[in-house]
Amino acid sequence: MDKTSLILEKNDNHSVISVLDSQKIKLQNNQLISTPCFINAKKIITDISFDFQSMSIEKLNSLIDEPKTILLIGLSKLLFIDEKLKQQLYQKNIAVEVMQTKHACHGFNILLSEMRPVGLLLL
């Protein structure tokens, strides 16, 4: 799995991805975090124990704690999410989009700046 590095900084009480690099996530306090990880306005989770192929509704539910969340999944190469899983997420009011990491990060920044409930899963 290709690793991606991001630099996060606090901006109005939430994390914003400001730079893409390679291998780790760097926080404003210079703390380094490896991908895979999950980021939203309130938390950063680094102990992700699954990959794209083994994703399930139960595993994603353990990450997402806000109703009507938009989940962006960033991958090094574009893959398509299982249609059954996509339907399960929609039934829980979770919209999901899978895209390349840099596009997922860009979308995360935009949605977060609009104060929308968004989560970013980087695998």
Residue 117 is predicted with a pLDDT of: 94
Where does 36-122 sit in CATH, by number?
A: 3.40.1230.10
10 Å CB burial of residue 66 (0-12, 13-18, 19+) is middle
Confidence of residue 1 (pLDDT cuts 50, 70, 90): very low
Residue 87 is predicted with a pLDDT of: 96
88: Cβ contacts below 8 Å, ≥ 6 apart: 57
pLDDT beyond 70 at 62: yes
Pick from 14-28, 42-56, 69-83: least confident: 14-28
Backbone φ/ψ region at 12: left (φ over 0), alpha (ψ -120 to 50), beta: left
